[in-house]
Amino acid sequence: MPLIYKIATAAEWAEAKTSGRYTGAPVDKADGFIHFSTAETVRETAAKHFAGQQGLVLAALEADGLGDKLKWEVSRGGALFPHLYRTMELHEVLWAKPLPLRDGHHDFTGLLP
């Protein structure tokens, strides 16, 4: 089963841990769905949308476990990106780990297959 990934700020993740659900970043709320990345696209997502940001969390979820509200839609460069059209429940998260910033770039060592 493919894993998909969500990058969140530490503050967003702390709020999700308190409530038991992740309702999304401001861009997710504005777009009406939660943006996810694949293992192939998450580095580019981090560089494009989170450049230089510290205090991030990378969460991994099984795509197949999210039901029919997960849609694979064409986005940048024609790649398919997973979008969740509902709140993400924290019990759906396989793991969440800090996404360190080293030398100005996010370090995914040991986080991705």
What is the token pair recorded at 68? Answer: 């029919």
Q: Could you tell me which residues come within 8 angstroms of residue 73 by beta carbon, excluding any fewer than 6 positions away? A: 80, 81, 83
Predicted confidence at residue 75, as pLDDT, reads 82
Q: Is 41 left (phi over 0), alpha (psi -120 to 50) or beta?
A: alpha
Q: Which DSSP symbol is given to 11?
A: H
- pLDDT of 47 higher than 80: yes
Q: Is-contact 33 27, C-beta < 8 A?
A: no
Q: Could you confirm whether domain 3-104 is CATH 3.20.170.20?
A: yes
- Integer Cα distance of 71 and 113 in angstroms: 22
pLDDT band per the 50, 70, 90 thresholds, residue 97: very high
Domain boundaries, the chain: 3-104
pLDDT band per the 50, 70, 90 thresholds, residue 79: confident
pTM summary value: 0.95
